[in-house]
Each structure stands twice: as C-alpha cells, then as structure tokens.
Structure 1
C-alpha cells in the first residue's frame, strides 16, 4: 500500500520520513479519535544534517552546523509536502507551481516548522528533526483545501435519482406494530408508527464529528470498502458513481472542518477494518458498507472511488434519514 504522509516514524540518515495518514483509532495530521479522524498532533517530519566548518572557534562552528541542519530539514520538508496527494489528479507540487497563494502558505508553514529533536555527534555533525502539522490552521491541509475550495460555501449533498426504488432491506426508517384484541363487545386494532427524525446540521464551529444516532436502525455513517486497489490517502478524496455523478467530495464539506479533520477517515489493515465494521470508527455504530466498483481512473493518485449508480442512490437515500454525510461520518477501508 502506498504511503502518502509521514507520521512520527523513525528517521533515516539524510532522508525525509515518508508521510503516512493514521489508520483507524487515530484523519491528514492527527490526534487519535474514533477511526482515524485528524487532530493536530500528527506531523510531517524530516531530518536535516549540518557539518561544522573548519577554521573557526568551536562554539561558532557548532552554531553554523546547527543552522545548516535546519536549512537542510526545511528543504526536505518542502520536498515531502510537494509529494502529498491533494486529489486524484494533483499533488501539492502542482498547486505550488500554479498558485502564488499556496506557495506563500507553504513557505510560511516551513518557516514555522518546529525542531522536534536535535543532537551533535563527536565527528562534528549536527542532526535536527523538524515537523509541520498536516491538519489545522496554518497546516498543509490549510494550504491544500483552501486552494481546492476557495471561498465557496459547501455544496448540498445530492438527492437520489427520482427513479431509485429502495431495496426492502435498506428501509429501516419506520417500524409499524399492529396489536389486535378481541372481546365480546368489539375488536379493536391499534397501529403505532415510529419514524426517523433527521439530525440537525453540524455546527459551523469545527469539532470532532459527533456520532450520528442510529435512529430506528438508520445508518450512522458510511464505510467505503476499497481494499485491494492500491489506494493512497489524500486531502480531497471523492466518491463518484460509474456515470460520473459526484456523491461526496471536499466541496460538500465545511472548509474549516476539512482543514481541521479531513473529509474522510482511513482504516488500513485487518485490525482497523474490524474496528470500523464493528462500529468503533468515524462511521459510527451502524455503518452502511459499500464495496467500490473500481478506483477512479487516475492521472497521479488512486484516491477517489467509483461505485455503482444503485449503491450511490442507496447512500443518498439513507443519508436523507440521518444525514451522516453532512456529519462527515465516512471511512475509507484501504
């Protein structure tokens, strides 16, 4: 499985730690939260090395070696950021080349990079490890998602096709109970119907996604099973059907939320898949599980998914009951 982002891994000499999105129970840059939602503790890291110049006092030479190590680490951070996937067509490098605003934001991120650790070797080599946040204000996600979305408000989630006929098994919204009693005088029939109540829209203030209630069996979220397709994690993954219809993309999500947490959680590996399907993930306690038809044909990255039109309509119809898409309760199994 390709790895997109580096998260707190051991460093290798003269190399950048490859960035990796956290798996379940840990979204891009992240604090552990049910299923892989992002927080602000996960970072992109890189090392840098500098050598003491000859012919000057040891103290000054050591300071210059440290400065050289910082510059080297910053350069390596830039290279790592350039390679992170934004969507199926682009990496951050594309946006940095075409957008002065993105380039300026990335420069600011690098300038504010934090020294995580540093050491000095007897041979005169200075080593630093530096990091930048993947998500949150002033993060890589801030630059990437702002470039994708701009100042546009979230687009509404589409409705299912008018011709869509729900399968009997996928209609848990209402429960009807009929009780009949007989007496010598009169037979009485009582019918009680319980219907699903839509959840309120998410708050404009970004916060970790609250679990969606499984009202009368309604689905709490969506799991997209994309296992076996060499998927990569990205800032703007999307769900499309085979007709090209957009079901769920970064343009449906509140921008401030997307910057803080990402638009989907990722589950990678058998343990993470089991956790997600057992209801201990971003998709909640009663997830709708949909197997993809294929990854969306890529130019650069396999990060979007394609599902059948019937599955797409089912997702959209179920979403109208509990609004799990509006609550960003989506997990990709990769």
Structure 2
C-alpha cells in the first residue's frame, strides 16, 4: 500500500491580496480595508479555510463544520461607471473563489495511507463531488472597496449533514466495496487482555498537541505495534454522515464540550505518543490497552465518539 497524503497546492495569489496568512497562527486573515467582512466573520465565529492567496486552514473546516473560501478581483477599467466596476468585480471575485475551492477539494485530506493509481482524479467520488459542490457553493458575503477598486467574495459549503462534502465521500465509501477496500488499512485490529478500570467511559479524547497531526475525512488511531484501535472506515454510514469521524478542538475542555453534544458524559483522555503519518495517531502500549478495555464496555468507537485535540 502506497503512502500518500492527498494534498495539492492552491491557486497562486493575485497581485493585491485582500487576505494574508498569519505566520504565527496559520490563519487566513482579512485585510483591514474590508472591515465589513471581518465583522461578518467574527460575528458568526467563523474562520476562512483558504482562498486565492494560497493560505489554508484545514482545522477550521473541521472544527466549524464548514469550508469557507474567499476570492478577490480588481475592477475592470473598461467598465466606466462605478456601479459597473463594482458589480463585475464582485462577480469575478466569486469565480476566483470557486476556482480556489475546486483546487482545495481536489486535494482534500482524505486519509494518510491509501492506494492511489494515478492520483486523486482516478476517484469518481472526488471528481463528481468537487464539480457538484463548487457549482452548489453558497455565496455568503461580498464586499467592494472603492479605495482599492477591489472586490472580495466568500463562498461556503458544509462538511457533514445531508448536503455536506464529507457526506458524499462517506456514502460512496460505504456503497463501493472496491473503494472501501482501497481506503481501509491492511493492519490487524488491536486486541489485548482487558484490564479493570476504576471508571466507566463513554467517549475518547486524544491529546495530539505534541504531534504533527491534522484532521482528515478519515483519522485513525494505532497501537505502537501498528495494530488498529480506531478505523472510521468501519463506522456506520449514518454516524459518519451525521457527525463525521470525530470532533476537532484546540483544548481538552472544548473537546469535552464537543463530545457532550454526542451525549458523552465521561470521556477517557489519553495522550498520543506518536503519529504514523500526519492524519493517523499512535498510542503507547499502556494507553492502547486502556482504550481497548474502556471501549469493550462503552462501545464508543463504533459511534465515533472521539475528539482530537490539535495544537
């Protein structure tokens, strides 16, 4: 099985970007010129996933259950009236956002270890999903700066739910045995002699803040010997469609709150000891046995009651 992270580069930025990547936080930031856009985003507690400048924030897409992309365009000097320049610049900004979104989705993080013949384009599920979702993306905000003669647009698609991008992948995965086999790991399932635990656990929180780890449509958990503890490819389609393979936050407390929405009252908390690749985590021998033992009683892995804490 060939190891390949399914990622591609986004479109190159324009000459006068309205957004920039924050080097410290790896976030897509809005230029101060577009105050209405910043207010709109902050008022809804939303973060941009990426856009034409090339910056990207995969964590935002998973944590907020939505992919938000921006596009920008300058006014056309052939349009002489201000109203024409603004209108056409806004339309062009939407088109550039759609192009950047298409590039992103074509290289979306799927799984860290998979068999790929000739790259992502071989998968009909991805190709068809990208085409339909880009066409169906929702324009949620637009703004035009007369000072810079530049328009920006933000488009949005959902991650999960009936019309989510991840849903299209999960549904195809469950209906296509060949595809499911290619995305499934060939490692054996982890088994051990269960240990007695002082508490009953109904969920799992993985602290991955010290690992080079990012969210994906399939994030797996392995024991130190390479055996599989958690494989979302084996979770029911309904669970994956409704809520995905896990929650993604940047703190233990937020992880607890996120799992509470899945009726988790007492999650087991363990720290990842390593990463098999950037989307698969490893646990120490002791923690692997603890998770295995807790899950035998709580059966929380089958319901994807898992939260990943990212740095």
**When the two structures are superposed, what TM-score results if normalisation uses the length of structure 2?**
0.68
Q: Name the larger-Rg structure.
A: 1
Q: What is the CA deviation profile of residues 248-304 of structure 1, one whole-angstrom value per residue up to 9, with x for unaligned ones?
A: 112121223213321111231xxx22454xx544173322222323101x3xxx121
Alignment gaps of 5+ in structure 2: 1-23, 30-44
CA contact (8 A) 1:273 1:333 kept: yes
| Partner in structure 2 of residue 228 of structure 1 | 210
Cα 1:160–1:139 change in 2 (3 A) is: closer
Mapped partners of 2:208, 2:79: distance in 1 = 59
Greater relative CO, 1 or 2 (CA 8 Å, sep 6+): 1
Q: Kindly state the Cα deviation for residue 232 of structure 1 after the two structures are TM-superposed.
A: 0.8
Mapped partners of 1:282, 1:63: distance in 2 = 44
CA contact (8 A) 2:62 2:248 kept: no
Q: 1:273 and 2:252 equivalent?
A: yes
Q: Given the alignment, which residue of 318, 322, 330 partners 2:294? A: 318
Cα 1:135–1:17 change in 2 (3 A) is: farther
Cα 1:136–1:68 change in 2 (3 A) is: same
CA contact (8 A) 1:117 1:129 kept: yes
Cα 1:100–1:220 change in 2 (3 A) is: closer
Q: Given the alignment, which residue of 66, 88, 91 partners 2:90? A: 66
| Partner in structure 1 of residue 76 of structure 2 | 52
SS of 2:73's equivalent in the other structure is strand
Q: Given the alignment, which residue of 41, 47, 70 partners 1:9? A: 47
| Partner in structure 1 of residue 104 of structure 2 | 80
Mapped partners of 1:84, 1:160: distance in 2 = 28
| Partner in structure 1 of residue 259 of structure 2 | 282
Cα 1:318–1:55 change in 2 (3 A) is: closer
Q: Given the alignment, which residue of 270, 292, 296 partners 2:272? A: 292
Matches within 5 A, 1:121-160: 121-122=145-146, 124-146=149-171, 148-151=173-176
CA contact (8 A) 1:319 1:325 kept: yes
Q: Kindly state the Cα deviation for residue 74 of structure 1 after the two structures are TM-superposed.
A: 0.5
CA contact (8 A) 1:221 1:329 kept: yes
SS of 2:204's equivalent in the other structure is strand
Alignment gaps of 5+ in structure 1: 31-37, 173-216
Q: 1:241 and 2:270 equivalent?
A: no
CA contact (8 A) 1:52 1:64 kept: yes
Indicate the larger mover: 8-17 or 125-134: 8-17
SS of 1:282's equivalent in the other structure is helix
Q: What is the CA deviation profile of residues 176-233 of structure 1, one whole-angstrom value per residue up to 9, with x for unaligned ones?
A: xxxxxxxxxxxxxxxxxxxxxxxxxxxxxxxxxxxxxxxxx31121122222112111
Matches within 5 A, 1:106-125: 106-122=130-146, 124-125=149-150
CA contact (8 A) 2:72 2:96 kept: yes
Mapped partners of 1:289, 1:11: distance in 2 = 28
Q: Kindly state the Cα deviation for residue 53 of structure 1 after the two structures are TM-superposed.
A: 4.9
Mapped partners of 2:226, 2:202: distance in 1 = 26
| Partner in structure 1 of residue 5 of structure 2 | none
Q: Kindly state the Cα deviation for residue 237 of structure 1 after the two structures are TM-superposed.
A: 0.3
Higher helix share goes to which structure? 2
